[in-house]
Amino acid sequence: MQKAMTDEELGAEYVRVMGSDLGQLCGELRDDVDWLRRKWSNFQELFGKGQERIDLLNRAASNFFYFLHRLFFEDAMLHLCRLSDPPKTTPYLRLPWELKRAKCGRAASLLGNGGTSDWLTQT
């Protein structure tokens, strides 16, 4: 049975296996995708449990939960867009890791087809 690795150990393993640039890039991307998955998980836990849950939230504080629903949903969608949009969509850099990606040709070839969305459904 393999022991669970800490974030630091996993990051070091990425660097060891993939090299410094790509390993760091992969670690940062993993962290960003994990954060998005946590956001979506919280959204689903609150609003994705069926009509009975929605009715309860509406009875408790409908305006507040309507606002929270929109806030959670829009934040998750914007996060997903920041991960998947091409860097030239706006004059601003879309992804915090895009600078490193540009310096690492191997990373560009591995991440170039927008496979990020597949990672969101993995558990």
Judged against a pLDDT cut of 60, whether residue 105 lies above it is answered with no
Residue 64: predicted pLDDT: 97
Segment 34-83, tens digit of pLDDT: 999 999 999 999 999 999 999 999 999 999 999 999 999 999 999 888 87
Q: Is 13 helix (H, G, I), strand (E, B) or coil?
A: helix
Distance CA 117, CA 84 (A): 8
pLDDT higher for 111 or 2? Answer: 2
Residue 86: predicted pLDDT: 67
- Please say whether the beta carbons of 51 and 63 come within 8 A: no
Q: Is 60 helix (H, G, I), strand (E, B) or coil?
A: helix
For residue 48, give the DSSP letter. S
Taking the whole predicted model, whether its pTM rises above 0.95 is answered as: no
Q: What is the mean pLDDT of the chain?
A: 77
Judged against a pLDDT cut of 60, whether residue 123 lies above it is answered with no
Residue 87: predicted pLDDT: 61
User: pLDDT tier at 10 (50, 70, 90 boundaries)?
Assistant: confident
